[in-house]
Structure 1
Amino acid sequence: MALENIWIATLSDGLIRADHVAGIEAHQTPELTGKASRWLLDVTLAAPAGSGTREGWEIAQLHRTLAQTDGYPSRAAEELARTLDYLRRRDIAGVLRAVVRHETLRFEFFPFDTGEDA
């Protein structure tokens, strides 16, 4: 099995297949009146998204947010890449989630039940 059997849970968009991830980044949202800035851990998907108007068609990278934190998620992008590589090399399938607890971002993997009863 490879990354096509690993699914990544997004913050609000459901699941994406890990083999569709083309990039990983952490970035800060702008501070708005009455709303503090937040840090987002995003993945960029290999498939672009487009939208059109009368003036033409615009293509942009498709981003999906995995986690949102108050503080900078130090090394989260590298840790996600390392976790995906580890899972890729194992004969395993399941869902990977980014979990924020007490200002710490970590990744939890939930394997699919491989029992015959399913």
Structure 2
Amino acid sequence: MGLENVWVATLTDGLIRADYIAGIETHQTPALTGKPSRWLLDVTLTVSAGSGTKDSWEVSHLHRTLAQTDVYPAQAAEELARRLHRLRRDGAAGVLRTYVRYEELSFEFSYFDAGEAAE
């Protein structure tokens, strides 16, 4: 069984199906005037997005942000990959959310079936 029954909550874009995730990365945003740099945990999806005009069209990978923090989220990408692997192996169905607590990222899974225990 794959991850078609596992949904991942994004920071601002709602839910995405976990089986559409092709990559996981952390990166730092540039500091802007009056706004400090932030660290992002992003996923890259297997679908692309296009934009442009009638004269030119640009297609690029579609990225979604799961969390942002002031400090480097060490091991966050690897921990998310491990969590998705365990959920796939267990045939889980539900929603995975990323939380920032005391500048550390954590992942919590809520099963669709309320009778099952949440991790």
TM-score, with length taken from structure 2:
0.93
Structure 2 residues not aligned, in runs of 5+: none
Letter of the 1:100 counterpart? V
- Tell me whether 84-93 or 51-60 shows the greater mean CA deviation: 51-60
- Residue 114 of structure 1 and its aligned partner are, at CA, apart by 5.8
Q: 1:25 & 1:58 partners in 2: Cα distance?
A: 22
Alignment partner, residue 68 of structure 2: 68
TM-score, with length taken from structure 1:
0.93
Alignment partner, residue 13 of structure 1: 13
Alignment partner, residue 108 of structure 1: 108
- Residue 92 of structure 1 and its aligned partner are, at CA, apart by 1.6
Letter of the 1:75 counterpart? Q
Q: 1:109 & 1:69 partners in 2: Cα distance?
A: 20
Instruction: Report the secondary structure of 2:92's partner residue.
Output: coil
How many residues matched?
115
Letter of the 1:97 counterpart? R
Q: 1:105 & 1:114 partners in 2: Cα distance?
A: 25
Q: 2:55 & 2:40 partners in 1: Cα distance?
A: 32
Moved over 4 A (4+): none
Structure 1 residues not aligned, in runs of 5+: none
Q: Percent identity?
A: 70
Alignment partner, residue 89 of structure 2: 89
User: Cα deviation per residue 1:46-74 (whole Å; 9 max; x = unaligned)?
Assistant: 00000121321100000000000000000
Alignment partner, residue 30 of structure 1: 30
Structure 1 pair 54–91 and aligned structure 2 pair: CA distance change class (3 A): closer
Report the aligned-residue RMSD.
1.1
Instruction: Report the secondary structure of 1:26's partner residue.
Output: strand
Instruction: Report the secondary structure of 1:4's partner residue.
Output: coil
Alignment partner, residue 41 of structure 2: 41
Contact persistence 2:95–2:109 (CA under 8 A): yes
Instruction: Report the secondary structure of 1:50's partner residue.
Output: strand
